[in-house]
Chain A
């Protein structure tokens, strides 16, 4: 915590930083433009004097026509309230921006991502390597003038499908018949594969005690790889660990094995076409992913869903939270060595909730249920009955049962209390979100900090725990499920009749030019969608602030000094889904 009094006013920024900061006056835009030279001073003042201590999102936008590369930051006060958006612009050739990692360590992966995908160099970044693609990959794929091998056209729907309808196979038209392309100077003979040298070299090393001082055994440190195929990494995720005996000296997460180019595809799609893609982000939580995206687009369009739709949305989002936390708990126990039994119990309840999803949307997992201005279909009487039974009869005792079996369990407690500790200060600095942040004692929940939909009239508590260890992250999920049930009971009680959609359902929406950032409290933390529209049918920029990805920034911090077996459980306690980490 800072000792300086916090200046709550932010409207005098231009006079405070003369010549450095100006209001962003483009139409539909908000926030401030900061010159790169003044960025560090501005961010320091923001954090230490104005109370914006939580840097939530960092991303880049490629303004090809203006020949500018823009880096966009969203910072928040932990007391709540809207974002302070600030941007810095640099020329597209050789863009250089000062890194904010020394101030906000949570920006580490996000800056690496902007380097990887946009080629923005962050001066002063401690470890600026590619993150989603691999070292040696040709080019920076999110740049507007970079085209993939299967490139057809700038925007969908592609003419060969509609309206002309002369469909061909893109494979027949690309040089190798496959989804690959090589730079013109590339020749396989003279080319040397780039190994993970930089990755291994970057791992911190502590001085061994083989100096004859007699301080313990003379040990040699080794580097091992867990993943990308390993049962405890929750998918195709890799941890590179430097070990001293069994103790973790340093750790680097390696991701990108499931990088599906969500954002690039998203910028070719029309606005509505992105809805089913958001399902596949955090594929356990498709409903609440829809929610975040719908809010972002509705903000741009300036529309509001009718009340009944809002209730249905919250109902689906909270059911999703229960599914997610159930599985998080189940898999955590799996990582602890309880094998599959707890997961089996949790999947039982999940199936019942999926029945509801299937009844309303037609699909178990990829629901694609939200629309701009409402939801796709009304809640049927049957589905309503199912929800009612679940939240009033079935789930409360089931939660008690799970709790009884797991919470006091000796082994669970031994393995998780005091392990993988993240303090409140660290959690904030590392931009952790969701249960990870709240288990460290920070009562930050988007549903309260910046209420959306109908959350401001629902009664529920923001749960926190104080120790920031694995056990607290485990318990907080129980707490949150109980709060979700509380919310659901109110929703079931008050669900009003009426419309479920503002306006007519339509395939193409008119989205005015501008930018927006819509965020929701997803089960894993703050899920945000940063959109830039230029008035056309598809988003000019489509970025996802994904909680799983950013929560991983804290992984190394939590693992250092712990045993290797604990690293597995610590990862489990963060609760990641690779679809969302890699996008």
Chain B
């Protein structure tokens, strides 16, 4: 058992050491969760190839209990946004995110997913998936090497380990609202922006520099 698990800050009598382990519910529960994260198996762009490489023999993410990559959002708890997020695709990404059961995590892999990357100025590029989804871990790189992605996994594991069961968003009494799915119009429409659009479109909004 890893050290951090069996360290309840509670004195175990000398003669029971090595036979009895005492831990907290939070710790053992989160240990289970973080050691069996199932990422969603889908790739958006170049970064996806490095994501696949991470799953193959040289890097082998199976070591982290993560080899089960599922092509369906219903069977996953981690969405790796592995590539450029375009306006044409973001409605589908948000829809899929809404279909992932709680508790769920999002990892922005690479420059594009984190902030638009080399294609940021492009008219069809969303400059950062965090404009639409809550991101838990950002992995820098273009593309991040498999080592970098693995480091991202470890950071995510740490994050999961530090969540008290009581505080996990998906475990609260109140039902979580699904995220609003943006729609495609003459450009991408973020439904949260709706009230601002007519004013700005007619020129009475903030000025363009």
B142 interface residue per 8 A CB criterion: yes
Is B31 located at the chain interface by the 8 A CB criterion? no
Residues of A within 8 A of B183 (CB): 193
Q: Does A231 contact B (CB under 8 A)?
A: yes
| B152-180 Cβ-contact flags toward A at 8 Å (1 or 0) | 00000000000000000000000000000
Contact of A260 (CB < 8 Å), options: B122, B145, B205: B122
B42 partner, pick from A229, A265, A344, A351, beta carbons under 8 A: A229
Q: How far is the CA of A231 from the CA of B116 in the complex (A)?
A: 24
Interface readout for B122-161 with A: 1 if CB under 8 Å, 0 if not?
1111110001000000000011010000000000000000
Give every chain A residue within 8 A of B52 (Cβ-Cβ): 343, 347
Residues of A within 8 A of B71 (CB): 229-231
Evaluate contact between B208 and A175: CB separation under 8 angstroms.
Answer: yes
Q: Which residues of B contact A366 (CB under 8 A)?
A: 46, 142-143
Bound Cα distance from A138 to B145, whole angstroms: 38
The CA-CA distance from A410 to B189 in the complex, in Å, is: 51
Cβ 8 A contact of B198, one of A188, A235, A350: A188
Shortest CB distance A559–B (Å) = 21
Known A-B contacts A136-B184, A259-B86; A173 and B197 likewise in contact (beta carbons under 8 Å): no
A283 in contact with B121 (CB, 8 Å)? no
Given known A-B contacts A173-B209, A182-B186, A133 and B121 have beta carbons under 8 A apart: no
B49–A284 touching, CB < 8 Å = yes
Choose from A132, A174, A189 the contact partner of B208 (Cβ within 8 Å): A174
Q: Please tell me if the beta carbons of B56 and A348 are within 8 angstroms of each other in the complex.
A: yes
Name the distance in Å between B79's Cβ and chain A's nearest Cβ.
Answer: 11
Interface string of A316-355 (1 = CB under 8 A from B): 0000000000000000000000001001100110110000
B186/A257 in contact, CB under 8 A: no
Contact residues in A for B44 (Cβ distance below 8 Å): 235-236, 258
Neighbouring B residues of A151 by C-beta, 8 Å: 121
Q: How far is the CB of B54 from chain A (nearest CB, A)?
A: 10
Q: Within A226-247, which residues are at the interface with B (CB < 8 Å)?
A: 228-231, 235-236
B-contacting residues, A104-154, CB 8 Å: 132-134, 136-139, 141, 148-152
B39-50 interface bits toward A, Cβ cutoff 8 Å, 1 = contact, 0 = none: 001111110111
Q: Find out whether the CB atom of A365 lies under 8 angstroms from the CB atom of B46.
A: yes
**8 A Cβ contacts from A478-498 to B:** none
8 Å CB contact of B118 from A148, A186, A276: A276
Q: Is B188 an interface residue (CB 8 A)?
A: yes
Residues of A within 8 A of B206 (CB): 175
B57 within 8 A of A: yes
- Bound-state Cα–Cα, A132 to B122, Å: 13
Q: A235-B48, A258-B84 are in contact. Are A181 and B120 (CB under 8 A)?
A: no
Given contacts A148-B123, A182-B187, A257-B88, contact A188 B194 (CB under 8 A): yes
B185 touches A188 (CB 8 A): yes
Task: Give chain A nearest CB distance to B137 CB in angstroms.
Answer: 21
Which residues from B are CB-within-8-Å of A17? none
Please, which residue of chain A has its CB at the minimum distance from the CB of B142? A366
Interface string of B185-209 (1 = CB under 8 A from A): 1111110011011101111011111
Kindly state whether residue B96 has any CB partner on chain A within 8 Å: yes
A283 touches B49 (CB 8 A): yes
Question: Which residues of chain B come closer than 8 Å to A176, judged between CB atoms?
Answer: 193, 196-197, 200
Question: Are A136 and B126 within 8 A (Cβ)?
Answer: no
A148-B121, A179-B126, A231-B71 as given contacts; A258 in contact with B193, CB under 8 Å: no
Q: Are A259 and B57 in contact (CB under 8 A)?
A: no
**Interface contact A579-B96, CB-CB below 8 Å:** no
Does the CB pair B201–A235 fall under 8 Å? no
Residues of B within 8 A of A344 (CB): 56-57
User: In the assembled complex, which residues on chain A have CB atoms less than 8 Å from the CB atom of B89?
Assistant: 228, 236, 257-258
Find residues 83-128 in chain B having any chain A CB closer than 8 Å to their own CB. Answer: 83-84, 86-89, 92, 96, 116, 118-127
Q: Residue B58 at the A interface, CB < 8 A?
A: yes
| Chain A hits for B185, CB < 8 A | 136, 182, 186, 188, 191, 193
Which of A186, A236, A276 is within 8 Å of B197, CB to CB? Answer: A186
The A-B contact count (CB < 8 A) is 182
Does residue A467 face the partner (Cβ distance < 8 Å to B)? no
Q: Which of B45, B127, B190 contacts A258 (CB 8 A)?
A: B45
Q: Are B123 and A149 in contact (CB under 8 A)?
A: yes
Residues of B within 8 A of A259 (CB): 86, 88, 124
CB-CB < 8 A to B86: which residues of A? 256-260
A579 touches B119 (CB 8 A): no
Interface of chain B, main secondary structure: loop
Check: B66 CB closer than 8 A to any chain A CB: no
Residue of A nearest to B202 (CB): A184
Q: Is A277 an interface residue (CB 8 A)?
A: yes
Question: What chain B residues lie within 8 Å of A283 (beta carbons)?
Answer: 45-46, 49
Q: Is B53 an interface residue when CB atoms closer than 8 A count as contact? A: yes
B119 (CB) vs chain A CBs: closest residue: A260
How distant is the Cα of A230 from the Cα of B119 in the complex, in angstroms?
24
User: In chain A between 257 and 306, which residues have their CB closer than 8 angstroms to a CB of chain B?
Assistant: 257-262, 264-265, 268, 276-277, 280, 283-284
- Could you tell me if A136 and B45 are in contact, using CB atoms closer than 8 angstroms? no
A228 contacts B53, CB within 8 Å? no
Complex contacts, A174 vs chain B, CB 8 Å: 208-209
In the bound assembly, the distance between CA atoms of A260 and B116 in angstroms comes to 10
Partner of B201, one of A139, A171, A187, A260: A187
Which residues on B sit within 8 Å (CB–CB) of A235? 43-45, 48
B201 contact set on A, CB distance < 8 A: 182-187
* A271-B120 Cα distance, complex, nearest whole Å: 19
B198 to A, closest residue via Cβ? A187
CA distance A341 to B190 in the complex (A): 41
A179 touching B116 in the complex, CB below 8 Å, given contacts A174-B208, A230-B71:
yes
Nearest Cβ on chain A to B64's Cβ, whole angstroms: 17
Q: Which residue of A lies closest to B95 (CB)?
A: A229
Which residues does chain A contribute within 8 Å of B41, judged by CB atoms?
A: 231
Q: Is B187 in contact with A137, judged by CB distance below 8 angstroms? A: yes
Distance in Å: Cβ of A287 to nearest Cβ of chain B: 14
- CB neighbours (8 Å) of B53 from chain A are 347, 350-351
Interface centre among B50, B123, B127, B200 (most CB of A within 10 A): B123
* Complex Cα spacing A261 to B186, Å: 17
28 A–B pairs (Cβ distance < 8 Å), ordered by A? A133-B124, A148-B123, A150-B127, A175-B207, A176-B200, A179-B123, A180-B188, A186-B198, A188-B194, A188-B197, A229-B71, A229-B96, A235-B48, A236-B44, A236-B89, A256-B124, A257-B92, A258-B86, A259-B88, A262-B119, A265-B121, A280-B118, A343-B56, A344-B57, A347-B52, A347-B58, A348-B58, A364-B50
- Can you name 5 extra interface pairs (CB under 8 A) apart from A236-B89, A344-B57, A347-B56? A136-B184, A137-B186, A174-B208, A178-B127, A183-B186
The 3 A-B residue pairs with the shortest CB-CB distance, nearest first, are A261-B122, A138-B186, A173-B209
Interface set of B (CB-CB < 8 Å, partner A): 41-46, 48-50, 52-53, 55-58, 71, 83-84, 86-89, 92, 96, 116, 118-127, 131, 142-143, 145, 183-190, 193-194, 196-198, 200-203, 205-209
